[in-house]
Amino acid sequence: MARKTKEEALETRNHLLDAAEDVFHRAGYARTTLEAVAEAAGLTRGAIYWHFKNKSDLFNAMCERIRLPMEELAAAGVSSDNEDPLGHLRSICILFLTQAATDVHMRKVFDILYNKCEFVDPTDPAYIRQQEAFLNGRARLVKILELAVEKGQLASDVDIPLAAVMFHAGMDGAMKSWLFASDVFDLVKEAERLVDACLDTVRYARSLRRRSEA
C-alpha cells in the first residue's frame, strides 16, 4: 500500500509538471500563477504546495526534469579516461538538438527558457537556478575542451575560455533560431552539420588562438 501511495504521488507530481509546461508555455513565466497550473491540472492549489514550495520551485523542477538527463551525459565527458572528448561533445550536442526538436516536453521547456522567460528579479530562485545551470554547463564545456587539448584533438594555443563562449553561442543561437522560426530549417536534418560547424570553428579559427604576450 505504501508503495502504491508513493507511485501515486509521483504520478501526481508529473501530472503537475505537464500542466506547468502548458501554462508556462502559453502565458510565460511572469504571468503564470499557481492557480492557473492547478486549474490546468484539474487539481487544487494545495496539491501543488504538497509537491512544490512556490512557483519558482515548480518552474525549476519542470526544467530539471528535461535537463538532468542531458547534464548527466555531458558530465561523463569530463572524465580523464575519455579518449575522445570532442567526439563525446559532438554526440551530446547532436542528441540535444534532435531531442529538443522531437521530444514534446523538451521543446516546450526550451521554448519557455529561450522565448518566454521574463526574469526581472535577480534574487528570484528561478533566475538563480537558471544562472547556476548556465555556469555549470559552461564549466563542463571548458573542461571538455581542456581535455581535448590534452588528448591532442585541439591545438595547445586554443583560447579555451573564448572557444567555450564561441561554441556555446553557436549552439545557443541554432536552438533559439529554430524555436523562434522552426520552418526556416530542419533542426533534425541539420543537427550534425550545425554541431560540426561549431566544432570546426573551435578547431581552426585563428581568432580563437591565444595572443602571444608582447
Give me the percent of the chain exceeding a pLDDT of 70: 96
Q: State residue 189's pLDDT score.
A: 97
Q: What is the pTM of this model?
A: 0.87
**Looking at per-residue confidence, does 213 or 98 come out higher?**
98
Q: What is the mean pLDDT of residues 74-82?
A: 76
Among the listed residues 147, 195, 140, the one whose alpha carbon sits nearest the alpha carbon of residue 164: 140
Q: Which CATH topology does 54-208 take?
A: Tetracycline Repressor; domain 2 (1.10.357)
pLDDT in tens, 94-107: 999 999 999 999 99
Pick the CATH number of 1-52 from 3.40.50.10420, 3.40.50.170, 3.40.50.300, 1.10.10.60: 1.10.10.60
Please, what's the b/e burial string for 36-67 (b: 16 or more CB within 10 A of its CB; e: otherwise)?
A: bbbebbebeeebbeebbeebbbbbbbbbebbb
Tell me how far apart the alpha carbons of residues 198 and 185 are, in angstroms, rounded to a whole number. Answer: 17
pLDDT in tens, 110-138: 999 999 988 778 898 989 999 999 999 99
Q: What is the mean pLDDT of residues 131-156?
A: 94
Q: What is the mean pLDDT of residues 42-64?
A: 94
Q: State residue 1's pLDDT score.
A: 37
Domain residue limits, the chain: 1-52, 54-208
Asked whether this chain's domains 1-52 and 54-208 adopt the same fold, the reply is: no
What number of CA atoms fall less than 13 Å from residue 44's CA on the CB side?
A: 4
Q: Report whether 144 contacts 85 (CB < 8 A).
A: yes
